[in-house]
Amino acid sequence: MVRLASFTFVLLPLAALGYEQHQEPFSALPDVKTPSKSIAIVGAGSGGLAIVKTIFDLPEDVRDGWEVVLYEQRRDVGGVWLPDPPGPLPRPPKLPESPLYPLLHTNTPHPTMTYPGFTYPPFTPLFPSHEYVQQYHADYAEQYNLTGYLRFHHKIVAANWVGDSVEGKWDLEIEVQQPHGPPRPSISRRSFDHLIVANGHNHYPHVPHWDGTEGWLANTPPDTPKREIVHSIYYRDPARYTNRTVVIVGAGASGRDAALQVGQTARVAYQSLTPTNEPTPGAKVVPKPRIAYFTNASVVFEDGTSLDDVDSLILGTGYHFHIPFLSPPHSSVLSVDPHTTFNSTTAPSLITNLRYIFPTHKHIFSLAPGIPPTALAFVGLPVLVANCPSDIAQSLLIAHALANSSVLPTHAQMLQELVEREDKLRAAGLDPYYVGHRLVAESESDQDYQDGVVQYLKDVGAIPEDGKKFVEPWRRLGRGKARLLARAWQRAVQLGVDREWLEGAQTEEEWADVMERLVEWQEAYEEEHGIPEFEDQSVWYL
Ligand SMILES: Cc1cc2nc3c(=O)[nH]c(=O)nc-3n(C[C@H](O)[C@H](O)[C@H](O)COP(=O)(O)OP(=O)(O)OC[C@H]3O[C@@H](n4cnc5c(N)ncnc54)[C@H](O)[C@@H]3O)c2cc1C
């Protein structure tokens, strides 16, 4: 009764706005009449596809009668690897659908980026362009018959838990905007037992605040391009920066690519770095320290130097961990507070400080009071990981916990494990609420994390003990030697022998062999000639 009353309250204003509303048909699958368990998944990037596939890998009698629906707001699978639709790029504050830029290539060798058992096609370049990665995700969905569970153009706008720490339901509000449908979206409502969030964390730009930016932006000198400060989510084409003076802020993946590309076209490119950042190797940039503030005329740096001829700033300053449909005003499940003083044990709800969503168990299950842990899970929160295999490791734990919630430790034990992780980070001199989901502590490498998640399932008998680690040795090699492999691959391309290296590689073992041989080839070369001073990025764009 309470829920029906609140539906009426919410739906009336929507009707007044002219939105179409309907309750979704109960079953997403033609042969499921009364699901024994209903599961909503948000996002058809690497993470969302992993969890759908893993659920359907459970034995049939275990998942019998489960209803699984994956909602994706965009037109296809692939998440960040699916380009924006054709047409002009949205201007701030409107966000592009993806941060993808035409010259984007992977910065890790593709055999390390695969779902276990599903390789890239023969002759895929070792560091492929984004088209290959999107196609890989589409092929995966096709190969494992996942497409029937996907609902494109369906955006989750609100998810509210109606229940307590033992039982309840999710009320989802879903905006449906078919490309050739009515001009206004329709709003659907559905309830589900479980919600799995795989919405990615490269969508909500982190834009630092500096004093004086407004005055600087308003005072473009005559006969120069209009001054601008743009986040890398809007970065597309280095040619745009021809003859401009540019400051690239940051040296993460986005700052690095912008430095390499814009360094080639700009009149002068500077790279503003924190004390722990290294300037991007191979980039034609002048290193500068952090920006301190702006005046009407200049960009002033922390060392007191200033630049008065800057035209553009590109902010490779990262993204926020933000899930609007779980947060106010749409929902009260996830509080947003960058300066929160709550911690994992005192948090009255899930909280994001925009770097870290806490408290969670193994970066996966919500430990929020008032919601059972298996009701809300996340795929893809960890940062600095190879996503597809990590998504599968996480999905295995989720799928088994959905099948049998006693696979998980008690709430108190999971909270204790989280506190221990946070203590371990503090002992290593790191602030867990700043580090967030970055896997940085010594015992918490990308691969150790995945091994740990899967080993746990073996230890509790949910999956058989096969005596092997989840992450194969060749994945460790490929990740650990990614930069060396990039130099090897560049050399192979320059010598025109790249296709020869790929000859015959099809299975995981064969791709592993290519990487192992390339490592040897490059190590021998570098032993004799030293590490090339500059990476030649131009080979990426051939
Ligand atoms: C520019 C760039 C380059 C990268 N390069 C590499 C690389 O070389 N190697 C590497 O290992 N990793 C790389 N990454 C990391 C990359 O994030 C992962 O490879 C991976 O693709 C992330 O997948 P995901 O499913 O977690 O998130 P995403 O790919 O972001 O997918 C999330 C999906 O959720 C959907 N969604 C979000 N909110 C809603 C909603 N409310 N309703 C419905 N749908 C919703 C989105 O539309 C999207 O399709 C790169 C990331 C970026 C941004």
Can you give the pLDDT at residue 511? 98
Query: Using CA atoms, how far apart are residues 132 and 121, in angstroms rounded to an integer?
Result: 9
**Separation of CA 98 and ligand 1 centre (Å):** 8
Query: Using CA atoms, how far apart are residues 273 and 493, in angstroms rounded to an integer?
Result: 31
**Ligand 1 contact via 198 beta carbon (within 6 Å):** yes
What is the dotted CATH code of the domain comprising 213-315? 3.50.50.60
CB atoms inside a 10 Å sphere around CB 459: 10
Element (H, E) at 399: helix 387-403
* Strands, E assignment, 43-200: 66-71, 150-151, 154-163, 168-176, 186-192, 194-197
**Separation of CA 374 and ligand 1 centre (Å):** 23
Spatial contact of 386 and 446, defined as CB atoms under 8 Å apart = yes
Which part of the chain is CATH 3.50.50.60?
A: 15-80+113-203+321-459, 213-315
| Angle subtended at Cα 188 by Cα 187 and Cα 191, rounded to the nearest 5 degrees | 145
Query: Using CA atoms, how far apart are residues 336 and 339, in angstroms rounded to an integer?
Result: 9
pLDDT tens, residue order, the chain (542 aa): 223 232 222 333 334 444 455 555 444 444 546 789 999 999 999 999 999 999 999 999 999 999 999 999 999 999 999 999 999 999 999 999 999 999 999 999 999 999 999 999 999 999 999 999 999 999 999 999 999 999 999 999 999 999 999 999 999 999 999 888 888 999 999 999 999 999 999 999 999 999 999 999 999 999 999 999 999 999 999 999 999 999 999 999 999 999 999 999 999 999 999 998 888 888 999 999 999 999 999 999 999 999 999 999 999 999 999 999 999 999 999 999 999 999 999 999 999 999 999 999 999 999 999 999 999 999 999 998 999 999 999 999 999 999 999 999 999 999 999 999 999 999 999 999 999 999 986 557 889 999 999 999 999 999 999 999 999 999 999 999 999 999 999 999 999 999 999 999 999 999 999 999 999 999 999 999 998 865 555 444 43
Element (H, E) at 512: helix 508-529
CATH fold of 15-80+113-203+321-459: FAD/NAD(P)-binding domain (3.50.50)
**Residue closest by Cα to atom 34 of ligand 1:** 43
Question: Is the preceding peptide bond at 93 cis, omega within 30 degrees of 0?
Answer: yes
**Residue closest by Cα to atom 7 of ligand 1:** 106
Which residue from 365, 384, 476, 440 is spatially nearest to 51, judged by alpha carbons? Answer: 365
Query: Using CA atoms, how far apart are residues 141 and 449, in angstroms rounded to an integer?
Result: 26
| Angle subtended at Cα 46 by Cα 56 and Cα 338, rounded to the nearest 5 degrees | 120
Q: DSSP states of 146-185 as a string?
A: -GGGEETTEEEEEEEEEE-SS-EEEEEEEEE--TTS-SSP
Spatial contact of 410 and 68, defined as CB atoms under 8 Å apart = no
**Ligand 1 contact via 43 beta carbon (within 6 Å):** yes
Beta-bridge partner residues of 41: 70, 196
**Ligand 1 contact via 392 beta carbon (within 6 Å):** no
Helix (H, G, I), strand (E, B) or coil at 348: coil
**Ligand 1 contact via 172 beta carbon (within 6 Å):** no
